[in-house]
Structure 1
Amino acid sequence: MNPFFNTDAATLSPIALFLQADWVVKGVMFGLLAASIWTWAIIFSFWRKLGRTRKATEVFERDFWKADDIDAFYKTRADEDLPSARVFAAGVAEWRRSTQGSVIDRGGTRERLATSMGAAVANEIDKLSDRLNVLATVGSVAPFVGLFGTVWGIMRSFTSIASQQNTSLAVVAPGIAEALFATAIGLFAAIPAVIAYNRFSHGINRIEARLNRFADGFHATLSRQLDRER
């Protein structure tokens, strides 16, 4: 018989431990496994999303700084689904609103440009960070949920000792093994979530710094153009 499917809890088979667990511990295990699957789905999708965003942003900024005509570049590239493109579009939109009158307030225009692009950067970072809170929640809560299952399983083991009036290891070992397995599943869900959260937070911070540098550079370009306006 395959030991993985053996229902003898002494084999420490994961399936055996799950099947022989109390219904409360089973619920804890099932919830933690679901959280682990959800975590890995987020990790893979987030990893691909950050990679695509980083590469596309590099291409967009490289093409922008090579462009000779900002208006022409705006017509062809402002609608791209990229954080840098939306920051760029926010800057151009504010520039057009602030310079359409006959009298231009240079100081006010510079402040509004900085505010508009800063808000665009913050909005893009909020969207990129949308599901990071799930990783943070799983990473912080899963060990305690597993610990709850462990405590419940150990309580059940002590109940078995009291009802059977037998302190042999054979009586208490299955319940303790089930209880510890709940903690193991909690750690299995939490550890990847914490590692991924820290790694992705670092990646988002780098993208935010890049967007802020792009916004500052574009602001300087528009500021020089503003000095030439009459």
Structure 2
Amino acid sequence: MSDNMSIASLVGQASLLVQIVMAILLIASVISWALILAKRNHIRNSTQASDRFEDRFWSGGKLSELHEQIGRDKQPQGLAALFQHGYEAFQRARDTPDADVEDVVNATHRGLRVSHARESERLDSGLAMLATIGSVSPYIGLFGTVWGIMNAFIAIGQVKQATVAMVAPGIAEALIATAMGLFAAIPAVIAYNLFTSRIGQLDARYRTFADEFAGILERGLRHGGER
């Protein structure tokens, strides 16, 4: 490939609007990969933390002791966060004067729902941006392509005899915009679909634990004891 037809040369010689489109797509790609790496680590950490917590929860120890252990963590997440906030809501309601069993159970469910919503929101953070990049980037690239090809045809119309050498740079720079749009969009779409599936599995796991935990606390109340 000659120097005049290298990618760097074509980008440098592109029209201002096409260069702006390329810059937008480059920024979108960088943001996309940053979100992908951050979200991958977040989901992995949440899954591992939930695995460790479930091992401790179902080991048969006292809930009060487990709550003290969780309280020493700097920032519990996943199932540990659900347990912490649900158990604290249970304790507050249980210690309220004249509170009956139904009041305590309802308060516990509310605490678990709030914590579940908060954890779900944390899991979903960044997905909207990935979806936006994945859906919009090809159209931004296509806009740059259309503009570049239009300029190439305008240049052809201004000369009496057009050659491939005259047309090729304009077409090439236009196609680079398309390629950059796809480069930004494809990883974002793939990551969005994978993360959505994994987050759905985690969210179902949170919901199941919240129901089981609330049931354990309710049975303890009605039978006058605590695990």
TM-score over 0.5 for the pair: yes
**CA RMSD between the two structures:** 1.7
Q: Which residue of 2 aligns with 1:18?
A: 11
> In structure 2, how many angstroms separate the alpha carbons of the residues matched to 1:61 and 1:78?
16
Shift of the 43–101 alpha-carbon distance from structure 1 to 2, 3 Å rule, reads closer
Q: Which residue of 2 aligns with 1:118?
A: 113
**Is 2:70–2:84's contact at 8 Å kept on the other side of the alignment?**
no
Determine which of 5, 29, 42 is the counterpart of 1:36: 29
User: Percent of aligned positions with the same letter in both sequences?
Assistant: 38
> In structure 1, how many angstroms separate the alpha carbons of the residues matched to 2:100 and 2:135?
50
> In structure 1, how many angstroms separate the alpha carbons of the residues matched to 2:11 and 2:172?
10
Q: Which residue of 2 aligns with 1:8?
A: 4
Pair 1:174-2:177 in alignment: no
Q: Which residue of 2 aligns with 1:77?
A: 70
Pair 1:212-2:207 in alignment: yes
> In structure 2, how many angstroms separate the alpha carbons of the residues matched to 1:195 and 1:16?
31
Segment of structure 1 superposing worse, 18-27 or 95-104: 95-104
Residue 201 of structure 1 aligns to which amino acid in structure 2? Answer: T
Shift of the 179–137 alpha-carbon distance from structure 1 to 2, 3 Å rule, reads same
Q: CA offset at residue 79 of structure 1?
A: 4.5
Segment of structure 1 superposing worse, 119-128 or 159-168: 159-168
**Is 2:140–2:181's contact at 8 Å kept on the other side of the alignment?**
yes
Residue 3 of structure 2 aligns to which amino acid in structure 1? Answer: T
Unaligned runs of 5+ in 1: none
> In structure 2, how many angstroms separate the alpha carbons of the residues matched to 1:178 and 1:102?
74
Equivalent residue pairs, number: 223
Q: Which residue of 2 aligns with 1:162?
A: 157
Determine which of 176, 196, 199 is the counterpart of 1:201: 196
**Is 2:49–2:78's contact at 8 Å kept on the other side of the alignment?**
no
Query: How far does the alpha carbon of each residue in 1:10-34 deviate from its partner, in whole angstroms, 9 at most, with x for none?
Result: xxx3223212211111111122112
Using the size of structure 2 for normalisation, the TM-score is 0.91
**Is 1:67–1:73's contact at 8 Å kept on the other side of the alignment?**
no
